[in-house]
Structure 1
Amino acid sequence: MRVALVSPYSWTYPGGVTRHIEALRAELDRAGHDVRVFAPFDHDRRKTAWMHRGARPQARPVPEWLTPLGATIGWPSNGAVSNVSGSPSAVSKLRRELRAGGFDVIHLHEPVAPVAGWDTLTSADAPLVGTFHCYSESVAPHKVAALLGARRKLNRLNVSIAVSEAAAWTGRRFYGGRYRIIPNGVVLPEGGVPWPRVRRAGEPLRVVFVGQAVERKGLPVLLRAFEALRGQIPAELTVIGLTPEELAPLLVEGEGVTALGRVDDVVKAAVLRDADVLCAPSLGGESFGMVLTEAFAAGTPVVASDIAGYRDVVTAGVDGVLVPRADATALAETLRDLALDPKRVQTLARGAAVSAERYAWPRVAEQVVGAYEDAQVVPAVEGGRVARAAVKVGATPRDGRPRVPAQRLPSLEPAPERRRGAALRRGAIGLAGLATVAGAVAAVEHIGPARIGDALVRSSPPWVLFGVALMCASMLLRAVSWHAILKAALPGARPKLADAVQGTNIGVLMSATLPARLGEPSRALIVSRRLGRARDRLPVVLGTIVSQTLINVLALVILGAVMFSTIGLFDGKQRALLWYAVAPFALLLVVLVAPALIRSRRPARSRWVAQARSAVARVRSGLVVFKRPREGFVAISMQLGAWALQWVSCYVLLVALGLEHRADLGAAAAILFAVNVTAVLPVTPSNVGVFQAACMAVLVGAYGVAPAQALGYGIILQAVEVVTALVMGAPALVKEGLSWREVRLRAMHSAPVSLSVPAPKKPEPVEA
């Protein structure tokens, strides 16, 4: 049989689909079939790395059975990066080759992915087989594909294959159709799966991770779990797929962690054989997980996230253990329990060896060949030319069976109550963001773009630059304040001013470019790494941020006092200032006394109570600065000085727009107060939209400034803040040797993990 295997993904950025195609081709070739592979191919050039977010392609030869289809572009998709080609030349070349090849079957992998398979669905006349590898619950991309005609195009498939029930769920949910489940295969070692390794007493637990540094793989979750695990038992972690340089930004502590980079299959198999467990902490978006079956083939059990794609492969308690996704504590406790029970690990390893036989490539390839044979049996079309034309264009299914439409299906993911809460939060943020955008558009249309543009053009550049300089200086004063707090809280670590400056600048950049408040954990992580013993330092450093926050509350009280005393809009409401004055002291009192009040004798509550007490204790450690007059004076005076510079900067920008006659220093205080209060829960990066609305509320409502000028002021003030973040933060990232993505990924999983003391094992009964 002459077979064409068509891949939309770059051959030199190999992922699960590419490895599947390569192994399938080899197996079909051994069975005597004539196989040709068509896939994009990227050469290692400067432009290639630029088109793939800095990632360089692997140096792979072009085998005689591969037809390259040109270069690709790296697109973010489903929590990872898809390297696909969108060039017309790739489409035209593939069409020519398929028409001239005389293929009995054309096998499309990810037929919906652009553009190779997508075009072949309607341009090729040979029998078509499509394999769906992806599991995704994201509605938007699939809806777009459906609007572009995906459902009609997929009717042209003679046979549809899914690598798992999760992948079939995606097809049924968004496109309809019938799917036969044929899993990914795995190459078993010659001589069979090796006998489980026996871990001797005192040997460390050997854990392996195989994957990329993309968010959905969940590597930061494993790193946090491993750091806690090493605090109780000897353990080693080997990371395959990342170089030491790529892994370093994600680490708080590197002890016991080894990064091997990208290795060949021989080395990977050897590492898996020597491991006690493979850990796959993915956060979602996995349809199968080929690395799981590769571990089975090495006789190694797995600890994997309890997600849809992995549940299709791992039989919990037989060949592995499933843990809640994104739960670093549960993952660490599971690994610890396995380390303390070597017999259980051996039992799981024997189960893994048995499971590997189900996925052996000869068995999988036999099922694929069966699909090819079924695809070649094309039923006769009844109904004349109209019916044949309907099949030709995909209006009716090519397999001759009744059409199965797309249908709403319940989610495959566990914990629906938690998913509903997460969905509600995302929905609320999304609605708030849409409302912000809609309000901004309505405001611009109401005021008039020309008037807004005129207000911006009339601003004075020297005054704006002076405002930027003041904002930059305020960041430096904040760093000096934080340095004093760090010195008081960590006297043995001897933090340097440069550490605080680096952390502050990077934190400001992250706060300005992300919708979530990731600036605080980002700067805490930077400083913790610089101080050494990062895992021990991080909780205290996070506590020092609370000290700065209390000073910020005091600054807001002062700004509130100025605002209430200068804006006539609030006449008669000055008593509200009492609440602003009392708030920081009430919060300080709660923080100081709460540890003595938190007690619980109920075992069910012991874990969260212990975590709450630990968190409050960390906060208290950060408040030591207020017991030391010298450091406390520096911290308070510098932080308030930073606020004063920002206050002056806000006034300077009023001067830049010629508004100083209408809005004075009191107006600048009110603006600074308003934008900081509304930024407590940002719904967009830098709170765009809400920021401008706060400025307009003050200037228009209290000072009678024209809406166009008020909105122009809000735009310029935010631009100044963003420029300040870039001017201060970008060089700091370069100096630290980090990328924005690395800091973001690390900050999202910054909470340190604390494990409970393991329960003592019950002695086995002794027979009389």
Structure 2
Amino acid sequence: MRVGIVCPYSYDVPGGVQFHVRDLAEALMARGHEVGVLIAADEDTEIPPYMTSAGSSIPLRFNGSVARLSFGPLVATKVRRWLDQGDFDILHLHEPVTPSLSLLALWNATGPTVATFHTSMVRSRALQMVSPLVRPALEKIDARIAVSEDARRTLIDHLGGDAVVIPNGVYVEPFRVAQPDARFTGTPQAPTIAFLGRLDEPRKGLPVLVGAVREVVTRIPGARFLVAGRGDAGRDAAIAELGDFARHVEFLGGISDDDKAALLTSADVYVAPQTGGESFGIVLVEAMSAGTCVVASDLGAFRRVLDEGEAGVLFRTGDSADLARTLLEILADDERRAAVAARGEHAVRRYDWSVVTDEVLTVYEMVLAASNATVRVDEAQGGRGRLFDVEGSGS
């Protein structure tokens, strides 16, 4: 099967959607399928060989974050050329209503099309405004996927229609077998609490974590907070807010995938203090895969990933005092912390790419089967259409 995947966001500063697209492409290729990915990227940005760059992008603030999008007549020409050259059996668009590559590809799509929706938000004026403009294009989509119930609800409320829920995938094994690193490993007197995320995006929750440091360190003087992620402005603001307590927080900057796995498997607790705009929570699944106890804000998406608090510990969103209380309780209870981590390790199996890829391929096969049936009807009526050989496309 020839699969074309389109990512609306730039690979220059990759995030959850970009990693999802990359991992899905590689999981499909591991099954023997041919995959091409269209994505925005600057000339000096290194991208995998199966990716094609549509050029540079423009940063725009959206949903509490900065999205780097690519649009315009020149980009549209590149999208059409990529589609023509790819001759894909199926086209898989991510965030197709975002004014970027996926929307351009949707406008030009002529064959079987699947779309994945990642965004979660309670109310969006932008989506409400764009909805009448994109609804006709959305009718070209043969199957819709949402990465969570929250993303599905956003789709239903703002754009209409429904979707099957297939979660984000994680390669569980690399995190499961990662070895502890002495740099990140704590002791009973000096436990380590880890955080990963963009430091200059308030919704990622660094200010909430910073607000809990004083209380935790007052009770556990040796506690170390390991903060990984880019964003100089957020780091500097955190240091200023911490004052003398800044010495208990180690800012690691951007880290490699190997270091991320080592950090997660070494820490006593992983904290996810996000305040909103999360449709899933991939880093929670990564921490659970590493066998680390997760403490997370009680956002709907996080509650569902953590089985309503069975596979992780929840605190009130945005409440630094409640986060501090929760951390102190879980750090003081080794038996409970181990039990929560064990339940997390069991729960993540459903998010492994081996499972998720099967579910995505099932959607592809249903779409191709429906397209095949439609083409046969058209031909029987004297029309013309492309015949998709479902049986011959499974490798």
On whether the aligned pair clears a TM of 0.5, the verdict is yes
Shift of 1:138: 2.5
Question: Is the counterpart of residue 231 in structure 1 residue 218 in structure 2?
Answer: yes
Which residue type is aligned with residue 205 of structure 1?
P
Picking from 65, 82, 94, the partner of 1:97 is 82
Counterparts of 1:200 and 1:95, CA distance in 2: 53
Residues 106-134 of structure 1, C-alpha deviation per residue, up to 9 Å, x if partnerless? 00000111122112223111110000000
Which residue type is aligned with residue 130 of structure 1?
A
Shift of 1:201: 6.7
Picking from 158, 162, 170, the partner of 2:142 is 158
**Larger of the two Rg values belongs to structure:** 1
Match of 2:194 in 1: 208
Shift of 1:196: 10
| TM-score under structure 2 length normalisation | 0.88
Shift of 1:308: 1.9
Question: Is the counterpart of residue 266 in structure 1 residue 258 in structure 2?
Answer: yes
Counterparts of 1:62 and 1:308, CA distance in 2: 34
- Are the counterparts in 2 of residues 163 and 182 from structure 1 also a CA contact under 8 Å? yes
Picking from 205, 209, 212, the partner of 1:222 is 209
Shift of 1:316: 3.7
Question: Is the counterpart of residue 299 in structure 1 residue 291 in structure 2?
Answer: yes
Counterparts of 2:95 and 2:110, CA distance in 1: 19
Match of 1:7 in 2: 7
Picking from 40, 47, 63, the partner of 1:62 is 47
Question: Is the counterpart of residue 83 in structure 1 residue 68 in structure 2?
Answer: yes
Contiguous gaps of at least 5 residues in structure 2: 379-395
Which residue type is aligned with residue 361 of structure 2?
V
Counterparts of 2:304 and 2:175, CA distance in 1: 27
- Are the counterparts in 1 of residues 186 and 266 from structure 2 also a CA contact under 8 Å? no
Counterparts of 2:156 and 2:341, CA distance in 1: 35
Counterparts of 1:242 and 1:98, CA distance in 2: 34
Residues 497-531 of structure 1, C-alpha deviation per residue, up to 9 Å, x if partnerless? xxxxxxxxxxxxxxxxxxxxxxxxxxxxxxxxxxx
Counterparts of 1:196 and 1:341, CA distance in 2: 21
- Are the counterparts in 2 of residues 9 and 39 from structure 1 also a CA contact under 8 Å? yes
Q: Identify if the C-alpha distance between structure 1 residues 139 and 191 changes in structure 2 by more than 3 Å, giving closer, same or farther.
A: closer
Match of 1:423 in 2: none
Classify the secondary structure of the residue corresponding to 1:260.
strand
Residues 80-109 of structure 1, C-alpha deviation per residue, up to 9 Å, x if partnerless? 111111232111111111022110010000
Picking from 228, 237, 243, the partner of 1:249 is 237
Between Structure 1 and Structure 2, the one with more strand by share is 2
Question: Is the counterpart of residue 380 in structure 1 residue 369 in structure 2?
Answer: no
Q: Kindly report the root-mean-square deviation, in angstroms, between the aligned alpha carbons of the 2 structures.
A: 2.3
Residues 730-755 of structure 1, C-alpha deviation per residue, up to 9 Å, x if partnerless? xxxxxxxxxxxxxxxxxxxxxxxxxx
Q: How many percent of aligned residue pairs carry the same amino acid?
A: 37
Classify the secondary structure of the residue corresponding to 1:263.
coil
Which residue type is aligned with residue 120 of structure 2?
Y
| TM-score under structure 1 length normalisation | 0.46
Higher relative contact order (CA 8 A, sep 6+): 2
- Are the counterparts in 2 of residues 205 and 236 from structure 1 also a CA contact under 8 Å? yes
Counterparts of 2:187 and 2:124, CA distance in 1: 50
- How many residues are aligned here? 367
- Are the counterparts in 1 of residues 192 and 267 from structure 2 also a CA contact under 8 Å? yes
Counterparts of 1:191 and 1:271, CA distance in 2: 10
Residues 457-481 of structure 1, C-alpha deviation per residue, up to 9 Å, x if partnerless? xxxxxxxxxxxxxxxxxxxxxxxxx
Picking from 100, 109, 128, the partner of 1:124 is 109
Shift of 1:358: 1.2
Counterparts of 1:74 and 1:43, CA distance in 2: 16
Which residue type is aligned with residue 182 of structure 1?
I
Between Structure 1 and Structure 2, the one with more helix by share is 1
Shift of 1:145: 1.1
Classify the secondary structure of the residue corresponding to 2:111.
coil
- Are the counterparts in 1 of residues 175 and 261 from structure 2 also a CA contact under 8 Å? no
- Are the counterparts in 2 of residues 74 and 81 from structure 1 also a CA contact under 8 Å? yes
Match of 1:22 in 2: 22
Counterparts of 2:233 and 2:122, CA distance in 1: 33
Shift of 1:363: 0.8
- Are the counterparts in 2 of residues 195 and 350 from structure 1 also a CA contact under 8 Å? no
Picking from 154, 157, 167, the partner of 1:183 is 167
- Are the counterparts in 2 of residues 244 and 260 from structure 1 also a CA contact under 8 Å? no
Question: Is the counterpart of residue 115 in structure 1 residue 109 in structure 2?
Answer: no
Contiguous gaps of at least 5 residues in structure 1: 45-59, 385-768
Match of 1:351 in 2: 343
- Are the counterparts in 1 of residues 2 and 88 from structure 2 also a CA contact under 8 Å? yes
Counterparts of 2:255 and 2:115, CA distance in 1: 30
- Are the counterparts in 2 of residues 122 and 153 from structure 1 also a CA contact under 8 Å? yes
